[in-house]
Structure 1
């Protein structure tokens, strides 16, 4: 499975912001659910004002429980939890 160009570009922007010390962690509300989120943002300037560009939020709880990794033997698939018999 290939990572799309927009995701690669955003990741490169995030890496540059981190290297330059221009990252912030902001407390925000999820626009759909209203839940509190801690959002990773790149910080820039525009005519003397600070501009915060959100890239994603930190996983709540155990991040290993929040995501399924790519399957090592299937480039187009993911590792799914086993279902009980």
Structure 2
């Protein structure tokens, strides 16, 4: 499975911001659920003002429980918790 161009570009921007020391962790509210989120932001400047560009939030609890990785034998599919390692 190929990672789309927008994700690659955003990741490169995030890496540059990290290398330059221009990352911030900002407390925000999720626009849909209203839950508190701790958001990783790149920090830039625009005409003397700070600009915070959100890239994602930190997972609550164990992040391994929040995401399903690609299956090792077929990267076009993902491991499912109910199949104990089988791809679906």
- The whole-number CA distance in structure 2 between the counterparts of 1:82 and 1:34 is 30
Instruction: State the Cα deviation string for residues 25-62 of structure 1 (Å, max 9, x = none).
Output: 00000000000000000000000000000000000000
* Runs of 4+, deviation exceeding 3 Å: none
Aligned to 1:30: 30
Is the partner of 1:3 in helix, strand or coil?
coil
Superposition deviation, residue 82 in structure 1: 2.6
User: Structure 1: any 5+ residue segments left out of the alignment?
Assistant: none
- Asked if 1:17 corresponds to 2:17, the answer is yes
Is the partner of 1:43 in helix, strand or coil?
strand
- Asked if 1:76 corresponds to 2:76, the answer is yes
Aligned to 1:50: 50
User: Structure 2: any 5+ residue segments left out of the alignment?
Assistant: 84-88
Superposition deviation, residue 81 in structure 1: 1.1
Superposition deviation, residue 66 in structure 1: 0.6
- The whole-number CA distance in structure 2 between the counterparts of 1:51 and 1:12 is 18
